Amino acid sequence: MTSLLSAELAATCNALGTYDKKTGKYLIDDFTLNTVKDLIRYLRRDGEGHEIRRHFGQTKVLQSDLLPMLIDHWENTELFDVTLRLLVNLTNPALLLYREEVPVERTARHNYLQILLHLQAYKEEAFTKVDTWNIFAKKLAKILEIDWSERDEDTGLIIERILILIRNVLHVPADLDRERRPENDASVHDQVLWALNQSGILDIILYMSSENEKQYFMHILEIISHLLREQNPSSLADAALQRSVDEKLRDDQELLSIRMSENKQRINKIKQYSGTRHSRFGGTYVVQNMKSLSDNEIVCLKPLNKISNLDFGGGKKSKLVKPKNRRPVESGILERRSAFAIRHSRFGGTYVVQNMKSLSDNEIVCLKPLNKISNLDFGGGKKSKLVKPKNRRPVESGILERRSAFAIRLFLKEFCIEFLNSSYNPLMHYVKDVLVRAKAQQNDESYYLWAVKFFMEFNRGHNFQVGLVSETMSVPMFHYVQQQMEKYYDMIKVEKKKFTPWVRRLHLALRAYKELLNTLLAMDKSTDPSVKESAKVLKSNIFYVLEYREFIISTFLNYDENKMPRSYLVDLMETVHLFLKMLEHYCKKTGLVVQKKVRKKAKSKPKIDNAVDVNDTQDNSEYDEEDEEEEEEERSTAVVETDFDFKDFVNRFCHPRVVSASVCLLERYDKNLPHTNHCIIKMLHRIAWDCKRPSMMFQASLFLIFQRILDNRVPQFKL
């Protein structure tokens, strides 16, 4: 940025107005409106380096001028509108500025991180205050009092801009390294939620999620997804004024496991250092069966690890080495000579080890550098751990869950209950219709899938009622989620360098599919006969269609550890386990007739006479094309009904990829949840015992994991 532009921006920011400390109000003049418009024009002329945007972030014009001016003069309609446009522009997500790609180049990456730091400062310093959100709540309430049919276009734009501003603020990611907030503590995001609740913004969002404000449903769904992104729906549903028995038991188990691990580390540290003394005095030891000159047992003053190096011949005395500051300065010939003798680090030379024969009775040849010949190890030794390159490491899904402060969880629980009771079904119906008609943006279906997963899980944990989520509990919903996952799989294969966002969307779709199965299982366990009958109908439709069964197998076989994160594999393992469990129970309880594809046999063609009229060749060619089309139709597959064999279906999971993924997940058994470990062991048990394939378990890595589990003294890993 040139000094002239910097001076011009500073002068423009100073011309906005002044804050009077005596009255506590922000003073403006007749030129303030034009000055705000000038700031908007500067941002429009910003280059790829976003110098002007970064300058505004460094000078903190939003915290010191724009918001105080808006708080004191929000009733000025024209000034409010222009300032709101500027706020929306300044709080735009950093990823949107870089076309949803984190820059790799050094300068661009630095600029991106600087913009992200400014956004986090906006969120913490300006939007955690209740006074800031009060003005937007008053403005929204004043506009919503007007009937939607009587509003003009400008009023609708103000509503949309306020919703986008809320979205931008909530979208800012947390700076975990700087905050370092423990569980049950209020983070910056929690403070913003508290300010939104105290100002009444959340109540207005609930009101706008009614059927009268359908044009804002996509914005509201995105706001809710950012609002609840750090919350676990099950723990949020259990939030109450008094802790439940399950919550107390869970907290006690966590504390007990932490205490046991700390005690284990302390004991290991004591064992490690208890026998060692100061390095200058290793102790006095008596060497048995070895007499000294006085016919007594020899006494050794060396440390224990040096007793084997006893030398009674005197040995060579250590050479006295002068300190560096007392050594004479050499001419540098030796240094240059040694520098020319050094080769590339990957080729240290070829050396012959004398008096040591190889398998061919010749002297052994060593390709290691000269200083490492003494370290020759013919026993194998420990291999260096293979480190994957950065471009082949899977990117984490970014799903971060933490337990917020108790007061935050209480009002968020009430918000979710009100949303389920009044708005979930109509809002999800409208959003689904928009997505099917392709009227939404590309990433909007991810918010829809997140809402399906979150609110259906919340409904299961809090007074389970199927009617509250009936819009997303149907066979077409299973089909839609499956379609989205297949689409994401295809995009991952096509976008080989930009597959990360598609993997995240695939993970969201998988979690939604898993929650659909969990809700179906909860319906099957319900005491209401009508709900159980509905679950039976849904299961019969899902298990009957071939594509739904094949989808579960193909999902597991398509797992790619180089692209998909470990959290995706955890959800995939639990989803497959749940599907197999429900299918097995359904087959045992009632016989299952399913669809099966078979190939039709081609019909025998009638013999054609050898004599063919020359004049009919053109007609015969047309007939031949029709015959070929008929033959293709005859050879095409047909769908028939047959009895389902569950054992044959499970046999298809006896695949090296399934075993490899299970072993990879079991390797960190101590970090997994107990339910995840149960799903892994059950899958391996099905392969080894039910399918009679124990040879697939003959892997050294799996045996080592079993040894670690058996040697572990933690009670939860014992039978």
Tell me the pLDDT tens digit for each residue of 657-684.
999 999 999 999 988 999 999 999 999 9
Q: Check the CA dihedral 640-641-647-649 and report its sign.
A: positive
Residue 451 has pLDDT above 60, yes or no: yes
pLDDT band at residue 280 using 50, 70 and 90 as cut-offs: low
Strands 297-300 and 285-291, how do they pair? antiparallel
DSSP 636: S
- Helical segments of 395-545, H only: 406-422, 424-436, 444-461, 475-494, 500-524, 529-544
Residue 145 pLDDT exceeds 50: yes
pLDDT at 359 over 90: no
Cα–Cα dist 82/384, whole Å? 61
Give me the pLDDT at residue 100, please.
Answer: 83
pLDDT digits (tens, 9 = 90+) for 686-703: 999 999 999 999 999 999
Kind and range of the H or E element at 597?
strand 593-599
Q: How far apart are CA 79 and CA 565, in angstroms?
A: 48
Give me the pLDDT at residue 337, please: 41
Residue 360, phi-psi category: left (phi > 0), alpha (psi -120 to 50), beta (remainder): alpha
Question: What is the model's pTM?
Answer: 0.79
Q: Quote the pLDDT of residue 198.
A: 95
Nearest C-alpha neighbor of 645 from the set 691, 600, 680, 695: 691
Residue pair 427/220 in contact (Cβ under 8 Å)? The answer is yes
Of residues 365 and 224, which shows the higher confidence score?
Answer: 224
d(CA 518, CA 575): 9
Q: Which of 101-115, 123-137, 257-271 has the lowest mean pLDDT?
A: 257-271
CA pair distance 55, 50, nearest whole angstrom? 9
Residue type present at position 496: K
Domain boundaries along the sequence of the chain:
1-148
Closest CA to 15 of 2, 3, 27: 27
Mean pLDDT of 584-603: 71
How much is the pLDDT for 325? 67
- Contact between 535 and 578 under an 8 Å Cβ cutoff? The reply is no
Nearest Cα to Cα of residue 274 among 264, 284, 266: 266
> Residue 228 has which token pair?
């609840």
Side-chain-facing half-sphere of 657: CA atoms under 13 Å = 12
Whether 262 has a pLDDT exceeding 90, the answer reads no
Pair type for strands 297-300 and 637-643: unpaired
What is the share, in percent, of the chain residues with pLDDT greater than 90? 49
Is a pLDDT exceeding 80 seen at residue 626? Answer: no
Which two structure tokens, joined as six digits, stand for 363?
A: 């002297």
- Of the given ranges (176-180, 431-435, 520-524, 531-535), which has the lowest mean pLDDT? 176-180
Q: What is the pLDDT of residue 194?
A: 95
Q: How confident is the model at residue 339 (pLDDT cuts 50, 70, 90)?
A: very low
pLDDT digits (tens, 9 = 90+) for 183-205: 777 889 999 999 999 999 999 99
Instruction: Give the three-class secondary structure for 139.
Output: helix
Least confident span in 137-146, 381-390, 399-408, 428-437: 381-390
Q: 641: which strand partners? A: 595
Smallest CA-to-CA distance from 506 within 439, 575, 438 is with 575
Decide: helix, strand or coil at residue 342: coil
Q: How confident is the model at residue 575, as a pLDDT?
A: 96
Average pLDDT value for residue range 149-163? 91
Distance between CA atoms of residues 6 and 666, nearest Å: 57
Convert the pLDDT of each residue in 562-577 to its tens digit.
899 999 999 999 999 9
Of 79-93, 238-252, 526-540, 642-656, minimum mean pLDDT range: 238-252
In the three-class reduction of DSSP (H, G, I as helix; E, B as strand; rest coil), residue 290 is classed as strand
